[in-house]
Structures are given as C-alpha cells and as structure tokens.
Amino acid sequence: MPNLAITDAQAAFFRANGYLILRGFLHSEEFSRLRQGVDNLTEYGKLGVHADPDFLYGTGDKTGKRVLRRIEYVVDKSDACKVLLGHPYILRSVERLIGKDFIPTWDSLVAKLPAEGVEVPWHRDASHFHVGDAPIFTVAFYLDRADQDTCLWVLPGSHQWKQSDVDQIVARPVFSTDGATPLLMDPGDVAFHHVLLLHGSRANHTPKTRRVLYYEFRPARVEAELGPHTPEYIPLKQRVLVNCIARRRAAPYVSRDEVPYDYDPPAPWTLTGVDVPLDSLRIPHETYWRSSESPEK
Ligand code: NI
C-alpha cells in the first residue's frame, strides 16, 4: 500500500525545520508534460520583454539586460500545471499540515536562467503579520537540477526566528551562505517550504538553468481573518482547485490506480457554486488585495 501523504515523521521535520524534500516525486510521463509546458512558457518569456504583467524580469548583473525571472498564474497558462494542482498526494499532505480548509493561493514559475540569473537576497515570502498560527507554505516542483551553483539556500528553523534575528541576516551586505543548507535537487524532486523560512540564491554565472514551479497553499480561516486577499477570493480559489482535481481525474497520463483527493472543507468554507464554470483560472491577486501594498512577491 503506497503512502497517500507525508508521514508523521516528515510532518514533524517540516514543522521543526521549515522545509521538507520529497525525492523522485514526479513520474516520467507527468514530468515530461510539465517540462514541455514550462519550456513553452520560458521560451515565450525569453523572446523579449513582454508587456504582459504575468512575465516578470530582473536586471542581469553582467550586461544590465532584462532577464526573465518569474511567470505568474501558470495554472491558467498550462494544462499540465492544472493537472499537477490536483495531485492527491500533495493535497493530502497540505491538508495534514494546514487542515481541510486550505486553498491554493500562488502558482508561479521561478526561473534562474544561465549566466545572468539574478541574485535573490535573503528574504521571507510573507510577513509574519499574515501568517497566524498555521504553517503556510509553498510546494516547489523542480523541472531542472539545482546544484551548488544554482540552488536555493535556506536557514533551517528560521521560520520560527524573531524579527530582529531575521533583520540581521537580511541586512548583511553580501549574499553569504554561512549556516545555510543548500537545497540540492534533481528534476522531479519536490520541496515544501514555509513562507517564513529565510531563503535566497546566488547570481547564476554558469550555463545552467534552474526552473521551479511554486504552488502556495493557505488556510481559508487565516486568509479570512488576516488576508492578504479579501474573503471573496476564497470561494474562487476553491473553484480553481475543484476544477483542477476534475482535470486530473480525466488526464490520460495519470494512473487509474491513483486515489483522487476528496476536497471537503468544513463550514463555513463548505463548497458552493463549484459546478459553475469559471471564465478563467487566473484569479488576479490585485483584484482581491486588501492592503495598498503591491501583491508582487
Ligand atoms: Ni522567495
């Protein structure tokens, strides 16, 4: 009998360290579909600097050119990304860590491109003001290898640090990996990381590419209380998730033996209107943003 979700020991490791790695997670057919979808998006993004606000660019540290660094709303842009969002092992694991009322929030592709992939300084992905008592986290699906040159570095346990300790790390003038753990990953590996875990990566001066799909999940109860989105966002994202679970059931490359995730959030988050089709699976953060700050991460 295969495991249907992460084990208690894996959940405990995640709670203590703020991250968790699952090796060899994506099977070949699903991986190659995702890789093809991501290749298409990356190639389009590299063609030029697009006016499309979902394609985000940084400044290359060698030539000063604009370099693709992120693509938002990949679930809307790629069928393989939709099927992936319905992955039952991931969703059961999310439920185990967050509770049954979780919703998907961000779905992004982060690209560290060759030679000029820009440095990402130490940071947290959220402010502690929005987190409440739940382990909000990102599930990172690796499309490329991440080695010492291209990987993400994390400070284990830093999701529990007090703000003054975080500020000390963020204020360091040079990107230093002192005390940090490299997330060395192969294509098809998955990492969970807590939104308060300090992480960053060096500029990429090698010919290697590292692309990762990031799917973030949050509890509806925390979202409703603290944001960052307005409460109207919650049922829309529930519908996105229901849609993706249905697509996974219908996907010809998913094993018929897979037990689909039964998304059944408790009251007051009970699903309503989920049979009404959505015009789009792109639910813009800024439309449902409750503060005046930009939703960009
Ligand atoms: Ni980040």
Residues paired with residue 142 on neighbouring β-strands, in sequence order: 212
Asked if residue 283 lies in contact with residue 240, where contact means CB atoms within 8 angstroms, the answer is: yes
- Mean pLDDT over 161-174 rounds to 90
C-alpha span between 131 and 137 (Å, rounded): 10
- Could you tell me which residue, 31 or 173, shows the higher pLDDT? 31
Q: What is the pLDDT of residues 80-135, one digit of tens each?
A: 999 999 999 999 999 999 999 999 999 999 988 887 667 889 999 987 767 777 89
Q: Is the dihedral of CA 108, 24, 26, 91 positive or negative?
A: negative
Average pLDDT rounded to a whole number, residues 268-274: 88
Mean pLDDT of 62-90: 93
Check whether 294 has a pLDDT greater than 70. no
pLDDT reported for residue 110: 93
Neighbours of 292 (CB within 10 A): 5
Average pLDDT over residues 17-39: 96
Max CA separation in the chain (angstroms): 54
* Ligand 1 midpoint to CA 110 (Å): 9
Q: How far is the CA of 109 from the centre of ligand 1 (A)?
A: 12
Nearest to 263 by CA among 283, 238, 237: 238
Say if residue 202's pLDDT is above 90: no
**Quick check: bond before 295 cis, omega within 30?**
no
Distance (Å, rounded) from C-alpha 52 to C-alpha 137?
A: 27
CA of residue 6 to ligand 1 center, whole Å: 23
Q: What pLDDT shows up at residue 85?
A: 98
pTM: 0.94
C-alpha 124 to ligand 1 mean position (Å): 6
C-alpha 31/C-alpha 55 separation (Å) is 23
Residue 297: inside a domain: no
Range of the domain at 251: 8-288
Q: What is the pLDDT at residue 293?
A: 62
Specify if 162 maps to a domain: yes
Residue 2 lies in a domain: no
The pLDDT assigned to 51 comes to: 80
Local confidence band at 297 (pLDDT 50, 70, 90 cut-offs)? low
Strand positions, DSSP E, 125-227: 137-142, 152-154, 181-183, 190-194, 199-201, 210-219
pLDDT band for 1, please (50, 70, 90 cuts). very low
Share of the chain above pLDDT 90, in %: 72
Give mean pLDDT, residues 57-81.
89
In whole numbers, what is the pLDDT of the chain averaged over residues?
Answer: 91
Element (H, E) at 69: strand 66-72
Q: What span, in angstroms and rounded, lies between the C-alpha atoms of 262 and 85?
A: 13
CA distance 237 to 262: 16
HSE at residue 77, side-chain half, CA atoms within 13 A, is 21
The pLDDT score that the predictor gives to residue 292 is: 63
Q: Does position 296 have pLDDT exceeding 60, yes or no? A: no
Q: Which residue has the higher pLDDT, 73 or 173?
A: 73
The CATH code of the domain that includes 244 is 2.60.120.620
Q: Is residue 216 part of a domain?
A: yes
Quick one: pLDDT band at residue 295, thresholds 50, 70, 90? low
Residues paired with 192 in a beta bridge: 20, 139
State mean pLDDT over 197-210.
89
Which residues are in the CB-under-5-Å shell of ion ligand 1?
125
Query: What are the structure tokens assigned to 58, written together?
Result: 């940084």
Per-residue pLDDT at 274: 81
Domain count, the chain: 1
HSE toward the beta carbon, residue 281, CA cutoff 13 A: 25
Q: Is 33 helix (H, G, I), strand (E, B) or coil?
A: helix
**Is the pLDDT assigned to residue 39 strictly greater than 90?**
yes
Q: Give a yes or no: residue 14 inside a domain.
A: yes
Predicted local confidence at residue 17, as pLDDT:
97
In the reported structure, the alpha carbon of residue 135 is separated from the centroid of ligand 1 by a whole-number distance in angstroms of: 16
**Which residue did the predictor score with more confidence, 130 or 201?**
201
**Is the pLDDT higher at 3 or at 122?**
122
From the number of C-beta atoms within 10 Å of its C-beta (0-12, 13-18, 19+), residue 113 rates as buried
CA–centroid distance, residue 33 to ligand 1 (Å):
25
pLDDT greater than 50 at residue 272: yes
Ligand 1 center from residue 147 Cα (angstroms): 18
**Does residue 3 sit within a domain?**
no
Quote the CA–CA distance of 105 and 195 in Å, as a whole number: 12
Mean pLDDT of 205-223: 93
Q: What is the Cβ-side half-sphere exposure of residue 110, based on CA atoms within 13 angstroms? A: 22
Position 71, amino acid: I
CA distances from 94 to 42, 100, 115, 132, 241 (A): 28, 8, 35, 16, 13
- pLDDT above 70 as % of the chain: 96
For position 80, what pLDDT does the model report? 98
The answer to whether the CB of 119 falls within 8 A of the CB of 201 is: yes
Q: Which residues neighbour 82 within 8 Å (Cβ) at sequence distance 6 or greater?
A: 75, 243, 244, 247, 248, 281
Residue 294 covered by a domain: no
Is residue 59 one of the residues assigned to a domain?
Answer: yes
